[in-house]
Structure 1
Amino acid sequence: MHTDKPDFNEYAVIDLGSNSFHMIIAKKIDNSLQIIYKNKQQVQLASGLDKYYHLSQESIQRAINSLALFAERLKDFPISHVKVVGTFTLRVAKNRLEFLKAASLVFPFPIEIVSGQEEARLIYLGAINSESVKQSDVKFIIDVGGGSTEIAIGKDQIPAFVESRPMGCVTYAKRFFPNQVITKQYFERAKLAAEQQVEKFTQSVKSKNITIAFGSSGTIKSIYKILLDLGVTDGIITLKRLEDLVSYVLEFKCFDDIDFPSLSNDRKLIFVSGLAIFYGVFSAFGLQELHYTHSALREGVLYEITGHKSTQDICEKTVGFLIKHYNIDKLHAGKTVDIVKWLFSQWKMSANIIIDEKLESLLYWSAWLHEIGLSINFSNIHKHSAYILKNCNMPGFNEEQQFLLSTLVGYHRKGFKVENIPNFSLFEQKQVLVLLQILRLAVLINNQRSATLNEKVFKLRVLDDNIFHVELYIENDFAKTNGLILLDLEQEQIYWQENKHWQLDIRIK
């Protein structure tokens, strides 16, 4: 792994799915991408989840073995040219940190776990940019994965509707088809469970006036190929063809008996459950026809990291939407951002560590959104804001970035204990704590909500021997007329003293 290679023109994306791990490598030539390598490892990570959502050691080891193989192929890749995303099983696994720690020993690239909504957005992005569609089309995309099913609808690059439901071909095979036996009763139960998963938004989907539908993933690819086996020349999936396929499949007694030329032995183990999910959703939404697309999550991620549409742009749009939706005071938030930027610039000049630009952006976005919970109540605003940021849909942010935003905002005021601040797998803890110090100081300095406040009357310095020991210098003339801010800073000093190594010194000059 290399940190930077300016002329390197290959990009890799790895999808850590609940059923399979996939890696694709593409070469960027001018403004187009050429896929030059693909690798698929049948890991079936979701099958290793127990009823308490803990991954078994066997499933973790299968995953580690696959990552070690991928690492061999990527040994010359710059870190900025590799993106690894984890999906449903890693979202829900209670011991995922154990997996991530073990993975880091054999795989040197960061693993980003994305939310279900973000996964749906990326699947949508991959599909619509690889298929021939009109801009005016209302596009419906569905992906039946190993542990979850993602649905997205939209016209433009950013979908207007995204949803992720906890139903996948691996988990449903385990839940509804004991001993891999096929019966009409088992199939109907699985189909009904899928319909129940989408019933809350079925009417909303039907009202979107969908003009074209696409399906991705191994389940839908298998349905498409089996229809070709059966003589359907155009490969289009319709309700009638789906019903006929279900009838054929229900003639078999168990998974191993299924006999279609295009269906592999591995896919047999999860095909019937995936078919039940897809049939249930197809019927519930009243779809007329659907086309298979080979592009999904991996292609969507590849599309973004190669500069076609930057994640930064998506994140900025998301933050702008939240500011508008929650009626955040833009003047006050903007002034807080200005103060954060000023203090951070001072910090960078005196500190001996470097903070990544992506982490710096998260600091600024936390300043923009720190009052998002004000619409609920000013009392405990930090808790309300943290809850909203942790649970809302935030396109462009992976799960840990979103959790970091929630954490920074949740600890931006009042007393706290450093040991209660969660650890992160993608970010160094000491850097997270630095961001929190700066955000707390900026919010406090702007507490009077003065639009004319000049942040340059404050100077910040970090002591060499302890990055958590901060000196804040305040111009004497400002201090004489702003006694309330000084009192607030004195209280902040007390909060800092309650935490080991934290110290805030106030200097008037």
Structure 2
Amino acid sequence: MQSNINDFHEYAVVDLGSNSFHMVIAKKVNNALQVIYKHKQNVHLATGLNHDFQLSETSICRGVACLAMFAERLKDFPVSHIKVVGTYTLRVAKNRYQFLLEAAKVFPYPIEIISGQEEARLIYIGAINTESVAKSDVKFVIDVGGGSTEIAIGTGSTPTLVESRPMGCVTYAKQFFPKQTISRPLFERACFAAEQQVEKMIKLVKSKNITVAFGASGTIKSIYSILLDLGVSDGIITPNRLDDLVSYILEFKHFSDIDYPSLSDERKAVFVSGLAIFYGVFKAFGIKELHYTQSALREGLLYEMTEDNKSLQDICQKTIDTLFKQYRIDEQHANQVAQTAKHLFKQWKKQTTVTLDPILESILYWSALLHEIGLSINFSGIHKHSAYILQNSNMPGFNEEQQFLLSTLVRYHRKGLKIESIPYFSLFETKQIYPLLQILRLAVLINNQRSSTLDPHVFTLAIMDNDPCKFQLTLDQQFAQHNRLVVLDLEQEQLYWQQNKPWQLHIKID
């Protein structure tokens, strides 16, 4: 490991896709990124996904073996210079934690599972920051992956529309071309299925008046390359050229028969299904021309990791602000709870040796701000309603576990709980999660009376026995005398904690 992280100028991104695992390493030279290493391994993770969304042992072993090889190249990298993300197959696999646990044995870096919308956002950022486009252009970006297809549209640096659909070249190959035979009826069925996946978007996409379109991924790269093989000098994909290409492909009887110089044997196994998806979407949206871009998810990750250390945090904060306004949350009360959480957390942090990523501290404050987001549904069961909204909202900037942690904190911020019910997280430890939840519960409870004049400094938090989950909360005596309901609430909270070892709450009035 490098002794001084500031002297380390290489950054690595690993993309655990449904078809292939990719590793890209770039070096920062004079504030510009230079790619110095790329490696692609065809893992075909999605082929091991059965109808019950369980990954097979064989596919898990293939993925883990690939990561073990990647780990050899990354052994000298600081963790902060590595970003590893999983996409569609790891999103939907019910036994993904089995994969993550096995991977952790050979690959000592955190693996983040990102939502389809977050993937689409990153693909858009990767494309527009490497292609020459005008600020005024309405930009359309599509990526046909192994298990899902991502679509993003925007005019500026941030897309205004991001969508992900569960259709990919690997999954469609299994579904529509199980014997790898090619026929017009099979191809049309796959195209129609792709159109159905986007039919509710068609009117909205067409209303955006797209001025420039880009396509990323192996499928679109193959289409672009075959057009070059056929003598199309600029490689631009147009409706007529795409029609011609489909006609050429349908002349073959089997995947292995397809014979173009640029199409590898590996790509042949998924090209027809990927072409069907792209053709269906291209026609449904009425795209006039589309340019292939080499930049997508991995470049988007690199850009955000190196451009500005605060940029991702700013995106997350903007997401929180949008939800705050959308659900018309009581600003004064939410800020009061957040300030109380900050006051308690600051004291806890000074006394513990538990290390926290800055994002965890932010998630605590955001959970305090949004704990009443479900009030728009009903006060009864508000913690459940709030958690549901947060778990199922599109939240740019958050990976899946960060979003899940936010919703989990809010889910258990009030009433009785069993800590056994708190789900497992691969990126965070219980010794990090429990104190955040304990602090949030206290911050909400202390502000139950919704007093705008409450001073959080009348509460002092101390850790007992060097245990980060054992709290002593000292109340100012004068405050306790005039706020007996708060004291009663704290006594009830004390009983809840007693039922959940190792939690402990001691209340002291001084």
Task: Tell me what 2:39 maps to.
Answer: 39
Distance 1:3 1:128, change over 3 A: farther
- Call closer, same or farther: CA 1:461–1:2 in 2, change over 3 Å: farther
1:284 is matched with which residue? 284
1:175 is matched with which residue?
175
Whether 2:476 is the aligned partner of 1:461: answer: no
- Structure 2 distance, partners of 1:61, 1:286, is 42
Following superposition of structure 1 onto structure 2, how do residues 247-266 of structure 1 map, counting pairs within 5 Å?
247-266=247-266
Distance of 1:291 and 1:96 partners within structure 2: 35
1:52 corresponds to 2:52:
yes
* Matched AA of 1:426: L
- Match of 2:277, SS state, is helix
Q: Deviations over 1:316-371 (max 9, x none)?
A: 11011111111111221111111011001111222232222221111111111111
Deviation at 1:437, TM superposition (A): 0.1
The match for 2:502 is: 501
Shift in Å, 1:467: 2.5
**Paired residue for 2:94?**
94
2:441 — aligned with what?
Answer: 440
Query: 496-505 vs 161-170, which deviates more?
Result: 496-505
Q: Give the corresponding residue for 2:206.
A: 206
TM score, norm. by length of structure 2: 0.98
Give, in whole Å, the separation in 2 of the partners of 1:41 and 1:352. 40
Deviation at 1:2, TM superposition (A): 5.9
Q: Counterparts of 1:505 and 1:482 in 2: how far apart (Å)?
A: 18
Separation in 1, partners of 2:2, 2:65: 22
Aligned residue in 2 for 1:425? 426
The answer to whether the 8 Å contact 2:354/2:431 transfers is no
Task: State the secondary structure of the residue aligned to 1:162.
Answer: strand
Distance 2:406 2:2 in 1: 29
Superposition deviation, residue 4 in structure 1: 6.0
CA distance in 1, matches of 2:3, 2:197: 43
Read off the aligned partner of 2:319 and give its amino acid letter.
Answer: T
Please report how far the alpha carbon of residue 3 of structure 1 lies from its aligned counterpart in structure 2 after TM superposition: 8.8
Alignment gaps of 5+ in structure 2: none
Name the residue aligned to 1:322. Answer: 323
Given the alignment of the two structures, is residue 449 of structure 1 paired with residue 419 of structure 2, yes or no?
A: no
- Note if 1:67 corresponds to 2:89: no
Change (3 A) 1:454 1:3: farther
SS of the aligned residue for 1:471 comes to strand
Is 2:271 aligned against 1:271?
yes
2 CA distance for matches of 1:89 and 1:222? 22
| Aligned partner of residue 468 in structure 2, secondary structure | strand
Does the Cα contact within 8 Å between 1:4 and 1:80 map onto a contact in 2?
no
Query: Which residue type is aligned with residue 8 of structure 1?
Result: F
- The residue correspondences of 1:238-253 to structure 2 (distance < 5 A) are 238-253=238-253
Aligned to 1:399: 400
CA distance, structure 1, for counterparts of residue 369 and residue 29 of structure 2: 38
How many angstroms apart in 2 are the aligned matches of 1:235 and 1:367? 51
- Once the two structures are superposed, residues 448-468 of structure 1 have per-residue CA deviations (whole angstroms, 9 ceiling, x without a partner) of 111211000000011125332
What CA deviation, in whole Å up to 9, does each residue of 1:412-452 have, x standing for no partner? 00111000110100000121011000000000111111121
| Amino acid in structure 1 at the alignment position of 2:203 | Q
Confirm whether residue 159 of structure 1 aligns to residue 159 of structure 2. yes
Following the alignment from structure 1 to structure 2, what is the Cα–Cα distance between the partners of residues 30 and 332?
47
Within 5 Å, which residues of 2 pair with 1:221-370?
221-308=221-308, 310-370=311-371
How many Å apart are 1:58 and its aligned residue?
A: 1.0
C-alpha distance in structure 2 between counterparts of 1:471 and 1:4, whole Å: 39
Hey, what's the Cα distance between the residues in 2 that align with 1:302 and 1:3? 23
Partner in structure 1 of residue 128 of structure 2:
128
Q: Please tell me the residue identity of whatever aligns with 2:396.
A: P
Match of 2:8 in 1: 8
Q: What amino acid is the match of 2:113?
A: I
User: How far did residue 218 of structure 1 move?
Assistant: 0.2
Tell me the secondary structure at the aligned position of residue 200 of structure 1: coil
Deviation of 1:179 after TM superposition, in Å, equals 0.9
Q: CA deviation at 1:201?
A: 1.3
Name the CA distance, whole Å, in 1 between partners of 2:331 and 2:254. 61
CA distance in 1, matches of 2:220, 2:491: 62
Matched residue, 2:487: 486
Which residue number corresponds to residue 194 of structure 1?
Answer: 194
Q: Which range moved further: 204-213 or 144-153?
A: 204-213
Q: 1:3 to 1:88 in 2, by over 3 A?
A: farther
What is the CA-CA distance between 1:498 and the residue it aligns to?
1.6
Other-structure match for 1:111: 111
TM-score by length of 1: 0.99
**Structure 1 counterpart of 2:381:** 380
Asked if the contact 2:124–2:159 (Cα under 8 Å) also holds between the matched residues in 1, the reply is yes
Q: In structure 2, what is the Cα distance between the partners aligned to 1:271 and 1:502?
A: 55
Matched positions, count:
509
Q: Distance in 2 between matches of 1:356 and 1:224?
A: 42
2:19–2:42 contact (8 Å) kept in structure 1: yes
Moved more, 377-386 or 446-455: 446-455
Amino acid at match of 2:464: L
CA deviation after TM superposition for structure 1 residue 194, in Å: 0.2
Determine the C-alpha separation between the residues in 2 that align with 1:310 and 1:74: 24
Judge conservation of contact 2:352–2:466 (CA < 8 Å) in 1.
Answer: no
The amino acid of 2:436's aligned partner reads: L
State the Cα distance separating 1:484 from its structure 2 match: 1.2
Mapped to 2, the partners of 1:173 and 1:440 lie a distance apart of 49
The farther-off stretch of 397-406 and 3-12 is 3-12
Q: Deviations over 1:105-137 (max 9, x none)?
A: 111110000000000000000000000000000
**Paired-residue identity, %:** 69
> d(CA) in 2 for partners of 1:474 and 1:415?
23
